[in-house]
């Protein structure tokens, strides 16, 4: 296995998995040394540090092609001077070697709205979650938490084993454009796989997490706290509790859409209401007792093995 640069140069294209013309992204499947790999490419935002050079033939628009003009209106196509270090045209991510799960995740697919009842969660989804946490699937997460990998990227860390977390940039951020800021928060504790595990007893943990994350990000990047959006996913992409922190101006597409993202503040408020109901009824309550409505792609294992069969009256195969 060569260096990351050597590997990406040896990528052999097989097919396009997905293309989003609105968000200017492209997902490609191929192989590197005989193993499947995925490359995702996303057009970067315009640099706002030197807008005066945009029309410069040396530092800005190096080539222009007039498409049409009408009175005071003119349309051009152009090429902009680029530098991979200072003004890159594209952000490229590589997953190598990748699995079938990655291929399904990055492929274009029909979405379905599903309702996960407490019964479905307990009978089927819990089995799926257990499968996704076995066989070393979370080793890459534990490598980050133990500083074996990506320690140079850590922005902030609270080392407390119960209340602590690591804050680091998400791979989707270009590390430059502040309005596309995207950070990940991975907690140190290992007893929370998703929001389904939360009960009112977790309110102090979540409130502390929210406060410390907002303070750390605001101080690091000189951003007002009300410029930051903090949310979780259900279903998440991996089953070790983590949260997403993005700039409020960033269009995250499906990742932050209804049916996928849930604001952390909303999670806390639901637990606060549960706490009141729990005191009145004497019955322990939690997110495991709720109906959860969310979207699933038709290639997702939960659709294929659980919700797809249920929708047709068949027994899930998980």
CATH classification of 1-44+88-108, choosing from 3.90.730.10, 1.20.120.1200, 3.30.200.40, 2.60.40.10?
A: 3.30.200.40
Annotated ligand binding at 260? The verdict is no
Annotated ligand binding at 243? The verdict is yes
Q: Across-strand partners of 40? A: 27, 93
Q: Which of 242, 247, 250, 300 is catalytic?
A: 242
Annotated ligand binding at 173? The verdict is no
Annotated ligand binding at 100? The verdict is no
Annotated ligand binding at 58? The verdict is no
How does residue 49 score in pLDDT terms, banded at 50, 70 and 90?
A: low
CATH classification of 109-311, choosing from 3.30.428.10, 1.20.1090.10, 3.30.160.250, 3.20.20.150?
A: 3.30.428.10
Domain parsing of the chain, residue ranges = 1-44+88-108, 46-87, 109-311
Share of the chain above pLDDT 90, in %: 79
Give the residue, 90 or 154, on which the prediction is more confident: 154
Asked if 242 is an active-site residue, the reply is yes
- The residue count for the chain: 318
pLDDT tens-digit map of 79-125: 888 877 777 888 899 999 999 889 988 999 999 999 999 999 999 99
Residue 147 in this model has a pLDDT that exceeds 90: yes
Is the bond preceding residue 220 a cis peptide, omega within 30 degrees? no
Mean pLDDT of 234-259: 92
How does residue 50 score in pLDDT terms, banded at 50, 70 and 90?
A: low
């Amino acid at each position: 296995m060569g260096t990351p640069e050597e590997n990406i140069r040896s990528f052999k294209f097989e097919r396009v998995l997905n293309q989003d013309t609105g968000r200017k992204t492209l997902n490609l499947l191929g192989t590197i040394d005989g193993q499947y790999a995925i490359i995702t490419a996303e057009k970067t935002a315009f640099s706002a540090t030197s807008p005066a050079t945009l029309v410069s033939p040396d530092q800005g628009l190096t080539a222009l092609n007039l498409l049409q003009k009408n009175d005071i209106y003119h349309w051009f196509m152009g090429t902009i001077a680029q530098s991979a270090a200072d003004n890159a045209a594209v952000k490229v991510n590589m997953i190598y070697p990748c699995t079938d799960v990655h291929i399904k995740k990055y492929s274009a697919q029909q979405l379905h709205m599903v309702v996960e009842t407490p019964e479905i969660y307990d009978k089927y989804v819990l089995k799926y979650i257990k499968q996704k946490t076995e066989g070393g699937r979370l080793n890459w997460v534990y490598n980050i938490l133990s500083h074996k990998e990506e320690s140079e990227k850590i922005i902030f860390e609270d080392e407390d084993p119960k209340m602590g977390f690591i804050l680091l940039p998400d791979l989707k951020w270009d590390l430059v454009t502040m309005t596309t800021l995207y950070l990940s928060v991975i907690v140190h504790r290992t007893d929370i796989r998703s929001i389904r595990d939360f009960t009112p007893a977790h309110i102090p943990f979540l409130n502390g997490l929210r406060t410390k994350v907002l303070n750390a990000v605001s101080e690091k990047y000189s951003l007002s706290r009300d410029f930051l959006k903090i949310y979780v996913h259900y279903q998440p992409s991996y089953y070790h509790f983590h949260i997403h922190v993005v700039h409020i101006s960033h269009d995250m597409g499906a990742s932050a859409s209804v049916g996928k993202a849930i604001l952390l503040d909303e999670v806390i408020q639901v637990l606060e209401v549960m706490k009141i109901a729990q005191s009145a009824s004497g019955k322990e309550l939690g997110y495991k007792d709720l109906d959860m409505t969310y979207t699933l792609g038709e290639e997702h294992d939960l659709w294929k093995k659980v919700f797809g069969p249920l929708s047709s009256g068949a027994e899930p195969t998980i």
